[in-house]
Amino acid sequence: AQRVTQPEKLLSVFKGAPVELKCNYSYSGSPELFWYVQYSRQRLQLLLRHISRESIKGFTADLNKGETSFHLKKPFAQEEDSAMYYCALSGGNSWGKLQFGAGTQVVVTP
């Protein structure tokens, strides 16, 4: 069965410090992995996806198939990064359908 695990419910970091959000998945094939973000009082939106290999708002994520991980990283956290972050997976017979992790709340303090 496919599963997405985000082990941290809450991550509190100081402004300017590095931040890493962990995401592990279980899937028997080659999934597509995504990070979605939800800022306070805003709707859920795509942050980045592994196939794009891009950096968005200073965030990067590398798909590690050996460790089945897709951790999200940013070297210097900013206060505006405070939000809820969800790792999501798509694959199998239903490309496009997303399976989400439980989410990690990031709080960046000055």
Interface contacts to another protein, rule CB under 8 A: 4, 6, 9, 32, 34, 43-46, 49, 51, 86, 88, 90, 94-103
Asked if residues 70 and 23 have their Cβ atoms less than 8 Å apart, the reply is yes
Which of 15/84 has CB closer to another protein?
A: 84
Around 5, how many Cα atoms within 13 Å sit in the side-chain half-sphere? 10
Which of 17/44 has CB closer to another protein?
A: 44
Nearest approach, Cβ of 106 to another protein (angstroms)? Answer: 15
Nearest approach, Cβ of 7 to another protein (angstroms)? Answer: 13
Asked if residues 27 and 89 have their Cβ atoms less than 8 Å apart, the reply is yes
Please give the Cα distance from 31 to 104 (Å, whole number).
21
